[in-house]
């Protein structure tokens, strides 16, 4: 594998968790361990994650509930692990958003092959030109829809703010008019008098700029639109 992926193993059994982590680390991945949904979310809040290897039978929140929550707010890869053999459980897991499903006991080679195959699909399905971007100290991950400040703090984005920022980083240094930008906000219909873009730009500046009144990242081009003027580099 050309690059190490960050995988979170969510498993309450210490022996199984250590064994899984050992397999994955030996294959070149970076691994974090969690015993339940709460500790998993702590990891996701502070770091970028490519894949969650998730046991269904966890104390408190089960893996299916965690899968629903994950899929509602992120595109992270999810492989479910379970001792259940029912086809119903497998189907439910896949229908609610899991990418794959492995039944215990499993062959380590098979598990690693499934992890590798899923990571390949995720990598190919991501925007290969702009999967993760750094600009002005910020880290913007298009795969997980996460924006992180230089301090490490996660900056919350609404769906419209994410879509607009995605449009800007896809065309740095290019003047984009309001109509073109508004077409990127997929959940809105628009009219020529719509000022949505101006409002969203103002909100993004409040979150991104050192001085929103003198912006250096999203700059107004009078009579034309806006330009993403920050230097952009691949992560």
> Residue 127 pLDDT > 60, yes or no?
no
> Residue 129 pLDDT > 60, yes or no?
no
pLDDT of residue 211: 95
> Residue 187 pLDDT > 60, yes or no?
no
Cβ neighbour number for residue 67 with a 10 Å cutoff: 24
| CA-based nearest residue to 67, from 13, 107, 10, 116 | 10
For residues 212-224, average pLDDT: 93
Which helix (H) or strand (E) segment holds residue 206: the answer is: helix 196-208
204 phi, psi to nearest 5 deg? -65, -40
Q: Please report the domains of the chain, with CATH numbers, ordered by start residue.
A: 6-125 (3.40.50.2300), 132-234 (1.10.10.10)
For residues 186-201, average pLDDT: 66
Q: What are the b/e assignments for 2-41, b being 16+ CB within 10 Å?
A: eeebebbbbbeeeeebeebbebbeebebebbbbbbbeebe
57 Cα distance to chain centroid: 25
For residues 43-70, average pLDDT: 88
pLDDT of residue 188: 46
What distances in angstroms separate CA 190 from CA 37, 160, 167, 186, 197, one per listed residue? 40, 13, 17, 10, 10
Residues 6+ apart with CB under 8 A from 37: 10, 58, 60, 61, 65, 66, 69
Half-sphere exposure of 197 (CA within 13 A, CB side): 27
DSSP letter assigned to residue 97:
T
Coil, helix or strand at residue 231:
coil
For residues 151-170, average pLDDT: 88
pLDDT band at 89 (very low <50, low <70, confident <90, very high): low
For residues 208-220, average pLDDT: 95
For residues 2-29, average pLDDT: 89
Tokens describing residue 204: 């993004």
| CA-based nearest residue to 141, from 151, 100, 77, 154 | 154
Rounded Cα gap, residues 57 and 79, in angstroms: 13
Rounded Cα gap, residues 206 and 213, in angstroms: 9
192 φ/ψ sector (left φ>0, alpha ψ -120 to 50, else beta): alpha
What distances in angstroms separate CA 229 from CA 9, 150, 164, 172, 217, one per listed residue? 39, 18, 15, 7, 5
pLDDT of residue 183: 73
């Amino acid at each position: 594998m050309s690059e190490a992926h960050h995988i979170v193993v969510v498993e309450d059994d210490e022996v199984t968790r250590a064994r899984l982590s050992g397999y994955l680390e030996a294959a070149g991945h970076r691994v974090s361990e969690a015993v339940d949904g709460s500790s998993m979310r702590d990891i996701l809040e502070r770091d970028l994650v490519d894949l969650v290897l998730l046991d269904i039978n966890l104390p408190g929140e089960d893996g299916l509930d965690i899968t629903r929550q994950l899929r509602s707010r992120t595109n992270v890869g999810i492989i479910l692990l379970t001792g259940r053999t029912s086809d119903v459980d497998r189907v439910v897991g896949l229908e609610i958003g899991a990418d794959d499903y492995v039944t215990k006991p499993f062959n380590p080679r098979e598990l690693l092959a499934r992890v590798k195959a899923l990571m390949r699909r995720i990598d190919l399905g991501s925007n290969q030109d702009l999967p993760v971007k750094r600009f002005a100290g910020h880290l913007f991950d298009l795969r997980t829809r996460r924006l992180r400040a230089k301090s490490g703090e996660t900056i919350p984005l609404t769906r419209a703010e994410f879509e607009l920022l995605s449009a800007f980083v896809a065309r740095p240094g290019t003047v984009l008019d309001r109509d073109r930008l508004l077409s990127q906000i997929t959940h809105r219909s628009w009219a020529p008098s719509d000022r949505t873009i101006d409002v969203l730009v103002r909100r993004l500046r409040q979150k991104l700029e050192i001085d929103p009144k003198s912006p250096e990242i999203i700059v107004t081009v009078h009579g034309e639109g806006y330009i993403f003027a920050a230097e952009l580099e691949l992560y």
